[in-house]
Amino acid sequence: MTDNSATKVALISGGSRGIGRATALRLARDGFHVGFCYQSNEQAAKELAQEIAELGVKAQAVRADVSDGDSVRRFVAETENELGPIDVAVTSAGITKDNALLMMPDADWHQVIDVNLSGVFNVCRSVIFEMMKRKSGSIVNISSVAGVYGNATQTNYAASKAGIIGFSRSLAKEVGRYGIRANVVAPGFIETDMTADLSEKVKKQAMQSIPLRRLGRAEEVADLVSYLSSDRASYITGAVLQIDGGIII
Ligand code: NAP
């Protein structure tokens, strides 16, 4: 256990799989009760809730669509009712709909922005009032190196992820006086379902540009989120921390 007491509560969007899942388990090991949302994969959510409970803290899984403000407000309210006031919020829900700009359907542009960027807005706005009242809180929003440097065929995704950085830095300036920190984690290539469909050729090419010569693991990202969520990072806010094996040096 770290410096976080067992009475603290973490809320994670997109907690059922990938980076969100690893973060949920890591924060549970840190002693947090964990409320998380998922969109459709109920089986994965149930299994995770069970795994968290086995670690000796409470778990709450809620089906919610982060792109829908009402749905997120319900998720946050149910989590607070069940687990208590939220100390840490992590936004990991995200999707890709890659295409060359010339070929990109309107719907794919809007869906990626709605889930990845408006989803962060919906979660942060829903938790911020209680954090302000309690004069404490930590928010960690998951962006991407694509949002920092751009990536061909990802204009929609990179725009959403760059938006998260501007959003989070603004929020950090806005709520720092209330003792609330807001930081960004920008991963490179991480082994999850999101990258599972990439062709071997693309993975091989990526590997060539990664000095550490491997993809990252969700648990490695979760470790960084755990650090930013904890009092060990008490003087860090508005930061954008890359975790990418050195892909962009
Ligand atoms: P993943 O394995 O595909 O998992 C995505 C998670 O988000 C799932 O739990 C999914 O729920 C949830 N989700 C998707 N759309 C949602 C919605 N509209 N409302 C609520 N939940 C929703 O993805 P990942 O690789 O862990 O990625 C997590 C975050 O890291 C994303 O923001 C992604 O952009 C970012 N990231 C990932 C990488 C990478 O290489 N993997 C790199 C940089 C940044 P269901 O299980 O119900 O579908």
pLDDT in tens, 61-84: 999 999 999 999 999 999 999 999
- β-bridge mates for residue 186, sequence order: 242
Determine the Cα–Cα distance for residues 33 and 154; give it in Å rounded to an integer.
35
152: left (phi over 0), alpha (psi -120 to 50) or beta: beta
Q: Residue 77's pLDDT is what?
A: 98
Which residue among 38, 149, 157, 178 is the active-site one?
A: 157
Which ligand 1 atom sits closest to the C-alpha of 143?
44
Determine the Cα–Cα distance for residues 193 and 147; give it in Å rounded to an integer.
20
pLDDT at 5 over 60: no
Which letter does DSSP use for residue 32 in this model?
-
pLDDT over 70 for what percent of the chain?
A: 97
Q: Residue 3's pLDDT is what?
A: 42
Q: Residue 99 is encoded by which pair of tokens?
A: 């295409």
Radius of gyration of the chain from its Cα atoms, rounded to whole angstroms: 17
Nearest Cα neighbor of 222 from 10, 2, 23, 3 is 23
pLDDT at 1 over 50: no
Averaged pLDDT for residues 197-201: 86
**Is residue 20 within 8 Å of 14, Cβ to Cβ?**
yes
Higher pLDDT, residue 200 or 192: 192
Q: Residue 135's pLDDT is what?
A: 98
Averaged pLDDT for residues 26-30: 98
The number of residues making up the chain comes to: 249
pLDDT over 90 for what percent of the chain?
A: 92
* Digit-coded pLDDT (tens) for 139-189: 999 999 999 999 999 999 999 999 999 999 999 999 999 999 999 999 999
Q: Residue 7's pLDDT is what?
A: 81
Cα–Cα distances (Å) from 110 to 67, 116, 163, 184, in that order, read 10, 10, 14, 22
Determine the Cα–Cα distance for residues 246 and 202; give it in Å rounded to an integer.
17
For ligand 1, atom 32, the nearest C-alpha belongs to 94
**Is residue 158 within 8 Å of 151, Cβ to Cβ?**
yes
Question: Is any ligand 1 atom within 6 A of the Cβ of residue 115?
Answer: yes
- β-bridge mates for residue 183, sequence order: 140
Question: Is any ligand 1 atom within 6 A of the Cβ of residue 245?
Answer: no
Determine the Cα–Cα distance for residues 16 and 9; give it in Å rounded to an integer.
17
Determine the Cα–Cα distance for residues 96 and 98; give it in Å rounded to an integer.
6
Cα–Cα distances (Å) from 108 to 95, 202, 218, in that order, read 10, 22, 26
Q: Secondary structure of the chain: what % helix, strand, coil (to 5)?
A: 50, 15, 30
pLDDT at 6 over 80: no
Q: Is 38 a catalytic residue?
A: no
